[in-house]
């Protein structure tokens, strides 16, 4: 399966206008944002766990990164309420699920092979810092390395937000809204800008809070077996 698989192109999904699609595991459904592969895939998705649902134990050959959007995600390593950010490097394993139910934003098979850095972090514990290069933007850094930056950004209301991302970027709206290229992005909308594409957005009266990932698209992923191998 291929969905928004040309990473040299802008892509957008408004999840409130798409349907949940059942996964092979009962009680677990998803809304796909981009994907290369079938059940083992390079993928970005919003995943919903019904109360009491669990996946079988498995290993993430290409790594897993997720942000809890609602509820409490759980595995044998702990409980992760709304706002927690987790990075499980390649070849780590767990048995995920949720007793109460949850929704997460998750990315699979998108780690550099050499990335072994584990992160388990409550975004709310990170102090917002003003971005000196971008007025009206506060930043909470969740992860940074030579390849990419992952952060929560808060954009002030009724402002122009201009940025020239290094190596492309993805934005996922957590709260509020913004407009870009004549398109309106509201809560749980997703935008991917390829390397070399600038961001020129405008917030509305409520401003916006977003999950942002930058730099990881400097090398455009290819439709390769490496994204569909365990």
Both tokens assigned to 38: 């079938």
pLDDT in tens, 192-214: 999 999 999 999 999 999 999 99
Look up residue 44 and give its two tokens.
Answer: 């970005």
Average pLDDT of the segment spanning 46-66:
91
| Per-residue confidence band for 21, with pLDDT thresholds at 50, 70 and 90 | very high
| Contact in structure between 74 and 94 (CB atoms under 8 Å) | no
Residues above pLDDT 90, as percent of the chain:
80
Half-sphere exposure of 78 (CA within 13 A, CB side): 9
The domains spanning 2-122 and 126-214 adopt the same CATH topology: yes
The average confidence (pLDDT) of the chain is: 92
Confidence check: pLDDT of 225 > 80: no
Closest listed residue to residue 92, CA positions, set 80, 106, 105, 109: 109
* Calpha distance 59→57 (Å, rounded): 7
Alpha-carbon distance of 170 to 190, in angstroms, equals 7
Q: What is the pLDDT of residue 230?
A: 27
Taking the whole predicted model, whether its pTM rises above 0.85 is answered as: yes
Class level of CATH domain 126-214? mainly beta
Please check the confidence at residue 224 and state whether its pLDDT lies above 50: no
CA 149/CA 199 separation, integer angstroms? 16
What are the residue ranges spanned by the domains of the chain?
Answer: 2-122, 126-214
Does the pLDDT at position 227 exceed 50? no
CATH superfamily of 2-122: Jelly Rolls (2.60.120.10)
Residue pLDDT, tens place only, 87-142: 999 988 889 999 999 999 999 999 888 888 899 999 999 999 999 999 999 999 99
């Amino acid at each position: 399966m291929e969905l928004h698989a040309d990473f040299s192109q802008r892509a957008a999904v408004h999840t409130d206008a798409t349907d949940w699609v059942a996964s092979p595991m009962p009680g677990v459904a998803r809304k796909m944002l981009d994907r290369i592969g079938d059940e083992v895939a390079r993928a970005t998705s919003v995943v919903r766990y019904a109360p009491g649902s669990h996946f079988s134990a498995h290993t993430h050959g290409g790594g897993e990164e997720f942000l809890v959007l609602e509820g409490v995600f759980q595995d044998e390593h702990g409980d992760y309420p709304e706002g927690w950010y987790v990075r499980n490097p390649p070849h780590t394993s767990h048995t995920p699920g949720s007793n109460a139910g949850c929704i997460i934003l998750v990315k699979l098979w998108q780690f550099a092979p050499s990335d072994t850095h584990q992160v388990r972090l409550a975004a709310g514990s990170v102090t917002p810092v003003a971005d000196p290069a971008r007025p009206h933007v506060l930043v909470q850094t969740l992860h940074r390395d030579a390849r990419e930056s992952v952060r929560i950004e808060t954009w002030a209301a009724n402002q122009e937000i201009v940025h020239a991302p290094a190596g492309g970027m993805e934005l996922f709206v957590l709260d509020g809204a913004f407009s870009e290229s004549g398109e309106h992005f509201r809560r749980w909308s997703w935008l991917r800008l390829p390397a070399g594409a600038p961001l020129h957005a405008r917030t509305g009266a409520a401003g916006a809070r977003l999950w942002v990932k930058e730099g990881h698209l400097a090398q455009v992923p290819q439709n390769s077996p490496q994204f569909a191998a365990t």
